[in-house]
Structure 1
Amino acid sequence: MESRDLIVIPARFGSTRLPGKPLMALAGRTLLERVIANAREAADLCGNCDFVVATDDERIAEHANALDSRSVLTDAALDSGTARAHAAALKSGKPERVICLQGDAPFIAPQTIASLIQILREGNASVATPVYQLDWARLDRLRAHKKTAPFSGTTCVRDSEGHALWFSKSILPAMRNEADLRKMDTSPVWQHMGLYAYTIEALDWFVGNSPGTYEILEGLEQLRFLEHGWKIATVPVAPPEHALSGIDTAADLALAEEAIAKLGDPFPA
């Protein structure tokens, strides 16, 4: 029988900037409820896939169970969502492929999650992650945002087959003759969305190895793979309507409320 894939939702209670974040309400539903709903729909879309909440806190586990989601308790000392996803996978029969869907990312569409599983099933990469191409207005907004928050927003450079050449907190690539390039509808800049799918072999390798030089400099854990020659497939997706993919602060939560009021609620029917 083919091994089932697994969507893991790391949901830590002890956030420094926003304690108890997964249990906080956004437009009448908790962040965790929203992420679980997206995971459930993604699992249905791609088939042969389960989902589980990985947490360090009984309150989050109880809330997940009340939402008809399985949960596992993982060590509170784990230092990243990726490590928590790996621990949950080991407690879940070691699935063939694992998606790490952060519990504070309520706006990542089920179709995007499912597309990563499908890419890994095709067997051309060991890691997959979504990217979207910026039009010039979005690029201008990203540049303006980086004047006050230089380490917010990650860009990606891709090869001709769609594998990542590099990720950076800088805006890549640099552009000569930008005025001419602006005659096109889209810029050559791809922005990264913080969602990853791994083969279990890649995830085992990641947690067993120390951070790399550029990973530390940029603060981007996916660079650990690139520094050691692993292939990362980048999956083009539509630019998100709701600009916030993750909720880190109370201000982010307020912005998310405003986005839902303006653009509608993406919670799956």
Structure 2
Amino acid sequence: MRPLNGIPPEMNPSTLIVIPARAGSSRLPRKPLRLIAGRTLLHRTIAMARAATAGLSDIQLLVATDDEEIAAHARAAGCDAAMTESAIATGSGRALAAARQWGTEPRFIVNLQGDSPFQPQGALRAVIAALEAGAQVATPVIALDWPTLDALRDHKTRSPFSGTTCARAPDGRALWFSKTIIPAIRDEDALRQSQPLSPVWRHVGLYGYTLDALTRFEATPPTALETLEGLEQLRLLELGIPITTVPVPPPVFDSSGIDTEADIARVEALIAAHGDPTP
């Protein structure tokens, strides 16, 4: 590995948080630079990550991009940036490519999606804590109450591949992820009367890896089930790499990413109504 931007090896962190910020987006071109209520999507994500990790030591934040303007925009916010190849297919792959530019290897790499600046409070810290406790891969999930599950079902009638759910074991191990709503619920009416939360967990697209787990993921071609669902984390499960899910409280705003002009308008309306959650 070579040092990134002249950073000496002794300053390399135990945990590297990487924000993939690719320029190309068919639905929202140059997405990282798009303004949301006067601040760019990338600057909002950087600010959220800094606030979420305040007080934690041995952590470095890094933007991984394929565009010099985006890299300069990250540095203007005081965040280092690594240039990566445009051909890299996944955010996790881009995170690994950026990590390989450091002088020494970090123990953990966190892939913080650059289009999700409104993550649930505590999600980033919870993922890092799970890695430090021994998880090979960690990712957050949110328990859905019944009204939220009803809203997700309604949303999927119009956008069936928006929103991911997770079936998990009692010890937190992920059993499966799907773009359909899992598990199916038998005797749902009785269950609604007996408990406030549904058995459905919604996945938040934030991943933390050990370096070994991420290297194995990136060295393996996409699997058939991963391709069918469009969910890269299924490759890990098919490789036999366990994923630890960490429950986090619901966010102030919906935690789905910013992918369209409509998403920007929706979030700006929420900011106008409830205030800006970005520090």
Establish whether TM, by shorter chain, passes 0.5.
yes
**Match of residue 186 from structure 1:** 197
Q: Does 1:206 align with 2:217?
A: yes
What is the distance in 1 between the residues matched to 2:144 and 2:55?
A: 27
Unaligned stretches of 5+ residues in structure 2: 1-9
Partner of 2:3: none
Partner of 1:137 in structure 2? Answer: 147
Superposed displacement of residue 229, structure 1: 1.2
1:196 aligns with 2:207: yes
Deviation string for 1:9-37 (max 9, x for gaps)? 00011111111111111111111111111
Look up the match of 1:163: 173
Deviations 1:170-227 (A, max 9, x none): 1111111111011111111101011100000011001100111211111111000111
Distance in 2 (alpha carbons) for counterparts of 1:115 and 1:204: 22
**Contact 1:45/1:114, CA 8 A, preserved across alignment:** no
Q: 1:117 aligns with which of 98, 114, 128?
A: 128
Task: Report SS of the residue matched to 1:146.
Answer: helix
Secondary structure at the counterpart of residue 209 of structure 2: strand
How many Å apart are 1:111 and its aligned residue?
2.1
- Identical aligned pairs, as a percentage? 53
How many Å apart are 1:245 and its aligned residue? 2.9
Offset at residue 3 of structure 1 (A): 5.1
CA distance in 2, matches of 1:45, 1:170: 38
Counterpart residue type for residue 191 of structure 1: R
> Between Structure 1 and Structure 2, how many residues are aligned?
267
Residues 109/155 of structure 1: CA separation in 2 closer, same or farther (3 Å cut): closer
Match of 1:127 among 133, 137, 155: 137
Q: Which runs of 5+ in 1 are unaligned?
A: none
Equivalent AA in structure 2 for residue 22 of structure 1: P
For residues 83-122 of structure 1, the aligned pairs below 5 Å read 83-92=93-102, 93-109=104-120, 111-122=122-133
Q: Given the two structures, how large is their TM-score scaled by the length of structure 2? A: 0.92
Match among 65, 76, 100 for residue 75 of structure 2: 65
Contact 2:204/2:255 (8 A) holds in 1: no
Q: What is the aligned-residue RMSD (CA, Å)?
A: 1.4
Q: CA deviation at 1:110?
A: 5.9
